[in-house]
Amino acid sequence: MTTYDGPAIDAHHHLWDLSLGRHRWLAAGAGVRGALGDLAPLRRNYLPEAYLSDAARQNIVASVHVEAGWADDDPLGETRWLERLDKTAGVAERYVARVPLASGEAPALIEAQARFSRVVGVRDVLSWSEDPARRFAARGDLMDDPQWRAGLARLEAHDLVFDLMVFPNQLAQAARLAQDFPNQLFVLNHCGSPIDRDHEGMRRWREGLARLGRAPNVSIKISDLVAYDHHWTLDSLAEVVLHCLKCFGSARAMFASDFPVAGLHASFDEVYDAFKAIASQLSADEQTALFFANAARIYRFDDLSSSARLAT
């Protein structure tokens, strides 16, 4: 077994400046999100310097910023803000931007986002549960909504990935969506969010993930394993990682931190050291794909030198 020590692309993390007042979900008294637990530790600015400090002991050469719940009244504001951040250290070299696809403004917003060269994907969070405390999306039927689908259909022309964030009860619906849009590349976030950790909940997640994994146009981000496994062990993380790899293979999977959110329950080093320990049983080529090459291909890091390293 060989532990990976090559370059890595962090395919999913967030940045925010709370002084801007654009992240209402992080405001005091905003309530819970999913099953993340107490959000108080996230109520601080998280800028490239903080990310660099967290990632300092890992060989992260570049990263993908995924929309972080910026206020709905200014959909382009987050992208414009990201453009002003220093890129010399490689943090947030690519963006997955927010577009509410069911909005009448979606066509214009997609066009506007696509004009930014660092925008390589779009996310419109779909995670919905019968339990209001778990919901991230306002509705549970968006994937079947004709106007939402019309918005999704516009991404292909701009070569934009769709980052797919759903709960296990939505994985069958997501599989139908992928089948209906065979030319659209989807990337499932956070392993499909295995939120229910009891036997039945994990069975439902495993079966749903296997079904979605049969869609060749879907890849998976193995990220934030600790979000719904607050008392994790290496064995409990490995159970999830290995099932993701069973369903998608090493050619359609990538590792990512989801920092600072994952920092609620693990350090950056704990996250990446767990990835390395679990992946050590794989071949060198498979490990390179998971840590670097798949993210480089999917998120269009065409000019990234594999010898680069984040400045510390």
Q: Which of 159-163, 227-231, 276-280 has the lowest mean pLDDT?
A: 227-231
Residues 6 or more apart whose Cβ sits within 8 Å of residue 199? none
pLDDT value, residue 310: 55
pLDDT per residue as tens digits for the range 259-298: 999 999 999 999 999 999 999 999 999 999 999 999 999 9
Q: Which 8-state DSSP code applies to residue 259? A: B
In a domain, 72, yes or no: yes
Domain count, the chain: 1
In a domain, 304, yes or no: no
Chain centroid to CA 90: 18
Going by their DSSP bridges, the two strands 8-13 and 186-188 should be labelled as unpaired
Q: What percent of the chain has pLDDT over 70?
A: 96
Mean pLDDT of the 12-20 span: 97
In a domain, 2, yes or no: no
Residue pair 65/13 in contact (Cβ under 8 Å)? The answer is yes
Q: Which 8-state DSSP code applies to residue 159? A: T
- The three-state DSSP-derived secondary structure of 5-68 is CCCEEEEEECCECHHHCCCHHHCCCCCCCCCCCCCHHHCCCECHHHHHHHCCCCCEEEEEEECC
In a domain, 308, yes or no: no
Domain carrying residue 134:
8-298
In a domain, 171, yes or no: yes
- Does residue 216 surpass a pLDDT of 70? yes
In a domain, 307, yes or no: no
pLDDT per residue as tens digits for the range 57-101: 999 999 999 999 999 999 899 999 999 999 989 999 999 999 999
User: How confident is residue 30, by pLDDT bands cut at 50, 70 and 90?
Assistant: low
Mean pLDDT of the 12-16 span: 98
Going by their DSSP bridges, the two strands 218-223 and 186-188 should be labelled as parallel
Q: Which of 63-77, 94-108, 127-141, 148-162 has the lowest mean pLDDT?
A: 127-141
Quickly count: other Cβ atoms within 10 Å of residue 192's Cβ: 27
User: How confident is residue 137, by pLDDT bands cut at 50, 70 and 90?
Assistant: confident
Higher-pLDDT residue of 38 and 250 is 250
Q: What percent of the chain has pLDDT over 90?
A: 87
In a domain, 266, yes or no: yes
CATH number at residue 90: 3.20.20.140
In a domain, 1, yes or no: no
